[in-house]
Amino acid sequence: MRRQIIAGNWKMHGSRVENAALVDAIVHKLPNSSAEVWVCPPFVYLAEVGRALAGSRISLAAQDVCAETQGAFTGEVSAAMLRDVGCAGSLVAHSERRALYGETDQLAARKFAALLAAGLTPILCLGEKLAERESGRTFEVVDRQLDAVLDLSGVAAFSRAIIAYEPVWAIGTGKTASAQQAEEVHAHIRGRIASRDAKIAALVRILYGGSLKAANAAELLSMSNVDGGLIGGASLKAEEFLAIIAAARA
Ligand code: PEP
């Protein structure tokens, strides 16, 4: 069975003092769960949070990465730099990056490839907007987002990557996809990968994200194709995040 992953996306929240308290609480009260745990702090806090996580079983990831390796790209951070400060991976093309910063499927694919080239794990975010769901285009949208990456990096790359299905209408809105809605799209994504390589499809972890919290975690995480969660708001509250970790499938 695939080991579940519970990953916290802190977005642009926190401070040195707040992060220290959050990490301390998570590290010291981590439940006896078999889930892998990741946290994704803002760039400027990565090294310090990484030091606070040292010796724990929690992995560090960034929220974004530059597609280029080095050079005149002011304000950007490369995959090698992320590895240098202790990251094991990074989110790629979170829906906020796609919507607010114009990230295209092609740029997402290049960022994914840059992480792999640096030996890091991409956590590829996919998901449809409300209007796309309502017009019956959910599968078409996630296929397009996924295919851009498959076409550039090949299906074998997914043996070293994680996928996060995050319906845009459920992120930060308090509206959660039902367990059946999540399962349906996760099964579809796995099927799309299986059409290229069944063995890789069976192993790739597909996380659900979108208003996941302690109260709905057990139901969502019990679905057979839901291999964990990418959690925004609830990952900033230690008790909530710990309860979600505890709800992960054994
Ligand atoms: C996210 O930021 O990836 C996310 C899923 O946010 P939230 O849990 O707050 O909806």
pLDDT in tens, 76-130: 999 999 999 999 999 999 999 999 999 999 999 999 999 999 999 999 999 999 9
Q: Could you tell me if the CB of 216 is within 6 A of ligand 1? A: no
Residues with a known catalytic role: 94, 166
For the CA of 94, the nearest atom of ligand 1: 3
Q: Could you tell me if the CB of 6 is within 6 A of ligand 1? A: no
In 66-208, where does DSSP find H-type helix? Answer: 79-84, 95-101, 105-117, 130-134, 138-153, 179-194, 198-203
Kindly report the protein residue whose alpha carbon is nearest to atom 2 of ligand 1.
232
**Greater pLDDT, 1 or 93:** 93
Report whether 5 contacts 228 (CB < 8 A): yes
pLDDT in tens, 147-189: 999 999 999 999 999 999 999 999 989 888 999 999 999 999 9
Beta bridge partners of 9: 40
Per-residue pLDDT, 250: 77
Q: Which residue has the tokens 């960034």?
A: 62
pLDDT in tens, 118-136: 999 999 999 999 999 999 9
* Mean per-residue pLDDT, 195-214: 97
For the CA of 125, the nearest atom of ligand 1: 3
Per-residue pLDDT, 7: 98
pTM (global) more than 0.95: yes
Q: How many CA atoms lie within 13 A of 78 on its CB side?
A: 13
Residue 57 phi/psi, 5° resolution? -100, 25
Q: Could you tell me if the CB of 166 is within 6 A of ligand 1? A: yes
